[in-house]
Structure 1
Amino acid sequence: MLSIKYYYPRWGSETVAWDDFAGKVKRAGFQGIEVYPLQHRHEKPDMLRALEDHGLEFSLLHAEMKEGKDFAAYKKALERNLVELTAYERKGLRPQFITSQTGREYYSKDQMAECFAICEQVSRESGIPVIQETHRNKWSFAAHVVKEYLQQFPSLQLALDLSHWVCVSESYLEDQQDAVDLAIRHTRHLHARVGHTQGPQVTDPRTPENREALEHHLQWWDQWIAHLRASGATQCTITPEFGPYPYLSYQVGSTTPVASQWDINCFMKTLLERRYSLGSPV
């Protein structure tokens, strides 16, 4: 039987004390937290203590960008940062995996091969999987591009976020199902955010005007869950990853969000829990 664990993103709650945040996430029924920690290094002890105290797993995000134009500097930063992330450990509690937004969209395949080799080396030496997030302005910015990479680098594992591809393609990928199929077979972790043809995040997936976008994403996620079950997988992880402003729009002339990020992510978890419970048709 496939067991699904849900992680809540730290993104958007950075001003909340770690113990308070972890307690709230635990009470909401999440099993883990997804964190981008390198901009908040001083919080490392509080973060690890809170995760341990509340019995939560965690994964870490990496998204180095400032060295992008200087490839040699970028490679050094990539290795340095990934190695640093593997040292986030407390009393046996360590990252389940590291999700990396690797490279840039203008890097060549030869350059990306060097980046992938760094990720593989860090993963091998640490025992912590380093997986690749599908994301705009990275090598993985579009479905057709990722298809070519996966054919050339079949060992790559993905953190699949299809909202980016929908936005880049300005479509629901109706004519790129072969690329989506291949990506799904390489997916280790899912970012459950709903994009639309003009952006990577709908205003609120609970509303009628966003139903079409939600249904497209649900069908893709159904396909991933079905693939895992058919292959005999016993566990997987999903992060409902609706983000704060500017992903989440403000009401015009204000800094008031059009909806609650927390409520949306909890809604997504509940929706998927019910959809993929034992006995689901998927």
Structure 2
Amino acid sequence: MQLALYRTLWGVTSCLDDIASQLKAVGFTGVEGRIPLTSEAISRFKQELTRNELDYIAILFTGGNVIPDQSESPQQHLERMARQIESAQTLGAKFINVLAGNDRWPMSQQVDFFGQAQELSEKAGIICSFETHRGTSLYSPWPTLELIDQLPNLNFTMDISHWVLVCERLLNQPEDDLSSFLDRVYHIQARVGYDQGAQTPHPAAPEFKTALKFHQSTWQSIWQRHQAEGRNITTMTTEFGPDGYLHHLPFTNVPVADLWSLNDWMALEERSHFNRFINTVDG
């Protein structure tokens, strides 16, 4: 099994032509980013992907905003999802990472919504992997596990940093049994969170050693599952980002770390981590 590393486009303002060589120097296979919203932007982005020989994981928000518009209905979410699936396919996306739903909907509505969302994915013939993210239906492990009981065939993108923040603890106790979720993780987003934040100032800092170890243990558990399933490739996106995630010094607003370097460090660290894992398995 091989590890395909992707780099988030969250916080990147340069075009792919300007950054492709940097991405490849670190070992990134491709990029993960939001689906462009206009035909012109889609065409331009597709040309850049092709020209630079980069693979693409599409990001789809079913809601009209990153944090869902509370007034939107599940049907509005589904209609937007259907439109953007077509755009992702035009771009040749390997699969679609979906930030889906609304954390306020009751469970019966969640089950109906995700059942229809899965039908859209199957009808289009492209994998939709639903991301664990605050503000969406999958904001917490506990409703997610309840959803899995009723819809066991869903695929998930694991960004467990959100759950660590929501629960205010590393989910590493025997009572925190996430096995039914881990069995269904399709894709990993690699960002290290801690009990009071979804992104550490720097994952290499010794004060966050325990948090890093926890995240790496969950990622490795996914690799073990993918290896057992016979997958040839397992995917991971480094996803350190801005927008309040990146820590800044008060008054000066100076970032405490370089965002590009954070993602490079995470990629190199996880490449080394994966190589250790796979060598142990093969040995």
Taking the aligned partners of 1:243 and 1:41, their CA distance within structure 2 comes to: 26
Does the CA contact (< 8 Å) of 1:144 and 1:176 recur in 2?
no
SS of residue in 2 equivalent to 1:276: helix
Residue 246 to residue 8, structure 1, CA distance change in 2 (3 Å): same
Once the two structures are TM-superposed, the CA of residue 175 in structure 1 deviates from its matched residue by 3.3
Output aligned runs, 1:48-87, within 5 Å: 48-63=46-61, 64-66=63-65, 68-72=69-73, 74-87=74-87
- Aligned counterparts of 1:264 and 1:123: Cα–Cα separation in 2: 33
C-alpha deviation, 1:176, in angstroms? 5.9
Counterpart mapping for 1:99-114 below 5 A = 99-114=97-112
Which residues in structure 2 correspond to 1:42-191 (within 5 Å)?
42-63=40-61, 64-66=63-65, 68-72=69-73, 74-89=74-89, 94-175=92-173, 179-191=177-189
SS in 2 for 1:189: strand
**Alignment partners' CA distance in 1, 2:56 and 2:22:** 15
Post-superposition offset of 1:46: 2.1
For 1:169, the aligned partner's letter is C
Aligned partners of 2:113 and 2:174: how far apart in 1? 26
Q: Distance in 2 between matches of 1:85 and 1:251?
A: 40
Q: Which residue of 1 aligns with 2:222?
A: 224
1:12 aligns with 2:11: yes
1:54 partner amino acid = N
Q: Give the whole-Å Cα distance in 1 for the aligned partners of 2:89 and 2:222.
A: 30
What is the number of equivalent residue pairs in this alignment? 277
**Displacement of 1:65 after TM fit?**
4.2
- Would you say the 8 A contact 1:60–1:95 is kept in 2? yes
**Which runs of no fewer than 5 residues in structure 1 stay unpaired?**
none
* Corresponding residue for residue 268 of structure 1: 266
CA contact (8 A) 1:249 1:257 kept: yes
Give, in whole Å, the separation in 1 of the partners of 2:176 and 2:39: 41
Q: Which residue of 2 aligns with 1:279?
A: 279
Task: Kindly report the root-mean-square deviation, in angstroms, between the aligned alpha carbons of the 2 structures.
Answer: 2.1
Given that residues 22 and 51 in structure 1 are in contact (C-alpha distance below 8 angstroms), is that contact kept between their aligned partners in structure 2? no
Q: Give the Cα–Cα distance (whole angstroms) in 2 for the partners of residues 124 and 228 of structure 1.
A: 21
- Separation in 1 of the partners of 2:160 and 2:31? 20
1:28-64 CA-partner distances (Å, limit 9, x unpaired)? 3200110113467653222111111111111111222
**Matches of 2:154 and 2:133, distance apart in 1:** 15
Match of 1:228, SS state, is helix
Question: 1:240-274: per-residue Cα shift (whole Å, max 9, x none)?
Answer: 11111410011222232111111111111111111
Listed as ranges, the gaps of 5+ residues in structure 2 are none
Q: Partner amino acid for 1:70? A: S
- Contact map agreement 1:160 1:191 (CA 8 A) in 2: yes
Instruction: Specify the SS of the correspondent of 2:178.
Output: helix
Q: Which residue of 2 aligns with 1:253?
A: 251
Distance 1:118 1:41, change over 3 A: farther
| Corresponding residue for residue 197 of structure 1 | 195
Per-residue CA deviations over 1:216-249 (Å, capped at 9, x if unaligned) read: 1111111111122123222111001111141001
Relative to structure 2, which stretch is displaced further, 168-177 or 187-196?
168-177
Query: Which range moves more in the overlay, 37-46 or 252-261?
Result: 37-46
Deviation string 1:83-134 (CA, Å, 9 cap, x unpaired) is 33433456xx611111111111111222222321332232122211111100
What SS does the corresponding residue of 1:87 show, helix, strand or coil? helix
TM-score (norm 1): 0.90
Q: Any idea what SS the aligned residue of 1:258 has?
A: coil
Does the 8 Å CA contact 2:111/2:150 hold for their aligned counterparts? no
